[in-house]
Every structure is written in C-alpha cells, then in structure tokens.
Amino acid sequence: MNSYISYFRPEIDNMTGYTPGEQPKGTPVIKLNTNESPYPPAPGVQKALASFQYERLRLYPDPLALEVRAEIAAMTGFSVNNIIAGNGSDDILTIATRCFSDARRPMACFEPTYSLYPTLAGLQGAPCIRIQLSEDFEIPEDPLRQARNANLFIIARPNAPTGNLFPREKMEEICAKFNGIVLIDEAYADFSRDNCLDFVRKYPNVIISRTFSKSRSLAGLRFGFAVAHEKIIDGMMKMKDSYNVPMLTQKLALASLWDRGYFDTCVAKVKTTREALTLALRDLGFRVIHSDTNFVFAAPPIDAKNYFLDLKRRNILVRYFPAARTCGFVRITIGTPEEMTELLKVTKELIGKN
C-alpha cells in the first residue's frame, strides 16, 4: 500500500479534536458523566412523536424553523428576528465561530471552561486566547486586557465544568467594554439563580445561546437556539447549514415548549437533589464548588483520578478532566435521588467512611 500523504489543512492535522463523555454500551451503569437529565422528556413530546406522520420525512424541514422560533420568541419576549435555531447549542457555537473568528480574528475564552471552544477556534485556524480563572474559578482581574485582540469572547455562564455562576455585574462590564462579540453560553441557565438574556436588549454585541439537552431532557434530539440583535441573526443565518434543524426535531422541541409545568417540576427536582448531594459530599470531606447547574464539581478527599476509576469499576460513570487546574476534581451529573444514594453508598466505601 502506498504511504499516506495528508490532504488536510495544517490546522486540522495539528489539532486535537473534542473528546465527548463516554456513552457506554452493554453493561447497565449509573450514568453521571454527560449532564443529561435523569427524567424523560415531557409527556407532550411522546404524544407528538406518536402522532408524527413518518411519510413526511421524504420532505425537507422548514429551513428557518419558524414555528419553534416563534414559540421561543413568545416565551422570551423577543421578536422571531432575534432568534436562530440550531442542531443543539454546539451548532450555534459553530456558526458563531465561523462568523466571527479566523486567522486574523482570535477567539477568547476562560480556562478552565467547555473544552469545545478552543477546538472550534482551531477548526477556523483562529488563535484562542485562554484567560485563566482565579484560584476559586472566578473571573480574574482585567480579563478585557487579555482579550483585547479577540473578535469573539465565548463565556459559559454558569461555567462548565466548574458549575459556578459568574457575577452579573462583571459579565455586564465585559459586554459593555469588549470590542467584539460576546457569546454567553447559557446551556445550564435553567438551573441557575439568574441569567443574562436581558443583555441582548442593552448591548448589540451580545449573543445568548441555550440548549434543550439539559433541562428539557432532549439531549438525543439536538436542539438549541440563540438570541441576539437582528443584524447578528441575519449574518448567522447566512452561515448556518441550509436545513440545520431536522423536521422531527422542530416538532418535538415545540411540544416540549408547550409543557411548562413538567419543565418546572423537573428543574425543581434536579435543584433539590443537587443541594442534597452537595451537603452529603461536604460531610464526607469533599470540596464542592457551589453549583448553579445540573452537576457538581467536587474534589474528593482521596486521589480524584483513582476515585473516578474506582467508581467506573463499580459501574458508576462520572467525568474526570486530567488538566492541571481540574485534575483534583470530578464532575458528577445530578441523577435521580436513588442514583445519588447509590453513588454516596459506594463513595463511603471507597473513602473508608463506612
């Protein structure tokens, strides 16, 4: 066989792709590693799926996702012209990176944060300015000085994988003074004390992205959206794939939006379980970062990597990030109360607290 010669752009050959959380097959596990909801989608989603006329799949979906965008507009108080739909919020992030970053226009983000951001910058051949968070994972002093050459500043709020909520006043200062686009990734905002959606009305350079994967139990469906000034949405519409949101996804996302009561109930249950788990882990000697998400970021009183591996041997999956700033922690998705009870039982055995 002839030797292989790469035809990829150098940026692709030289980069490391994003590593998603493990999706196990076969042996039943308690899966607490990818921040999925422990509860099923709204009952209306099942009804919409059952009534879907499968023969319609021969047709293309609405390329503008107008019906679901109109429902989101009604829910948020914005115009449909302020909203773009995506194939998950990762699609929104990809569109934004393609719109605003290239070799001459760097991206900025905090570190540690969602590791997809530098990967997206790399795909564009764009430099990524990584601004280190403080020792307690808060916004450092003068982040704008470090980000001054960037054209796009992506900020996860609440942050991942740490789970903490950056103060609104510091976020507002960044939005008001940054000379470029500020994309606030609010994937976990439904579990937090507040959000920054109102910034869109005050700052024409702000994009807010959201997802249905976490709080609406639709990670397998892939639906997300962004809210921004209509001129920004106009430009992002040019960059998106022609039919980026499938027909079935649009229909089921719409059904989820119609069942507000179920959504509120599931979010409340996750928050209650989160607080109970936080207290229990602290009682066992863990350092737990205050969380405004559907997970906790916790440093065990034993070696974090070994704890992660020992849990895995017991068929409990959590997430471990080996980087220098995060290697002392594990990220634990909030599951059902029963799953948390089993996690704590095994944890007590592993740290010798039984």
Share of the chain above pLDDT 90, in %: 91
**Helix H or strand E encompassing 48:** helix 43-51
Who's near 313: CB < 8 A, 6+ residues apart?
A: none
Beta strands in the chain (DSSP E): 30-31, 83-86, 107-111, 128-132, 152-156, 181-185, 206-211, 224-228, 287-288, 295-299, 316-317, 319-320, 330-333
Mean pLDDT of 24-39: 91
pLDDT for 22 equals 76
Condensed to tens digits (0 to 9), the pLDDT of residues 260-307 reads 999 999 999 999 999 999 999 999 999 999 999 999 999 999 999 999
Distance from the Cα of residue 275 to its chain's centroid? 20
Structure confidence at residue 10 as a pLDDT band (50, 70, 90): confident
Structure confidence at residue 3 as a pLDDT band (50, 70, 90): confident
Share of the chain above pLDDT 70, in %: 99
Answer yes or no: are the C-beta atoms of 58 and 156 closer than 8 Å.
Answer: no
Answer yes or no: are the C-beta atoms of 224 and 92 closer than 8 Å.
Answer: yes
Q: Is the pLDDT of residue 18 over 80?
A: no
Mean pLDDT of 10-30: 81
How far is the C-alpha of 343 from the C-alpha of 331, rounded, in Å?
13
pLDDT for 294 equals 98
- For residue 198, give Cα distances in angstroms to 79, 171, 232: 13, 12, 16
Q: Is the pLDDT of residue 353 over 80?
A: no
Answer yes or no: are the C-beta atoms of 84 and 237 closer than 8 Å.
Answer: yes
Structure confidence at residue 256 as a pLDDT band (50, 70, 90): very high
Provide the Cα torsion 149, 154, 158, 163; round to 10°: -80
Average confidence score pLDDT of the chain: 96
pLDDT for 154 equals 98
Structure confidence at residue 20 as a pLDDT band (50, 70, 90): confident
Q: Is the pLDDT of residue 97 over 70?
A: yes
Look at the block and give the residue holding tokens 């249905």: 212
pLDDT for 4 equals 85
Segments in 104-240 forming alpha helices (H): 116-123, 143-146, 168-177, 199-202, 230-239
Question: How many C-beta atoms surround the C-beta of residue 287 within 10 A?
Answer: 13
Mean pLDDT of 99-113: 97
3-class secondary-structure state, position 340: helix
Determine the length of the chain.
Answer: 354
Question: How many C-beta atoms surround the C-beta of residue 337 within 10 A?
Answer: 14
Structure confidence at residue 1 as a pLDDT band (50, 70, 90): low
Condensed to tens digits (0 to 9), the pLDDT of residues 221-255 reads 999 999 999 999 999 999 999 999 999 999 999 99
Q: Is the pLDDT of residue 354 over 70?
A: no
Distance from the Cα of residue 327 to its chain's centroid? 20
What six digits make up the tokens of 131?
């601004």
Structure confidence at residue 114 as a pLDDT band (50, 70, 90): very high
Q: Is the pLDDT of residue 100 over 80?
A: yes
Structure confidence at residue 2 as a pLDDT band (50, 70, 90): confident
The answer to whether the pTM exceeds 0.85 is yes
Condensed to tens digits (0 to 9), the pLDDT of residues 192-221 reads 999 999 999 999 999 999 999 999 999 999
Structure confidence at residue 25 as a pLDDT band (50, 70, 90): confident
- What is the residue type of 98? R
**Helix H or strand E encompassing 11:** helix 10-14
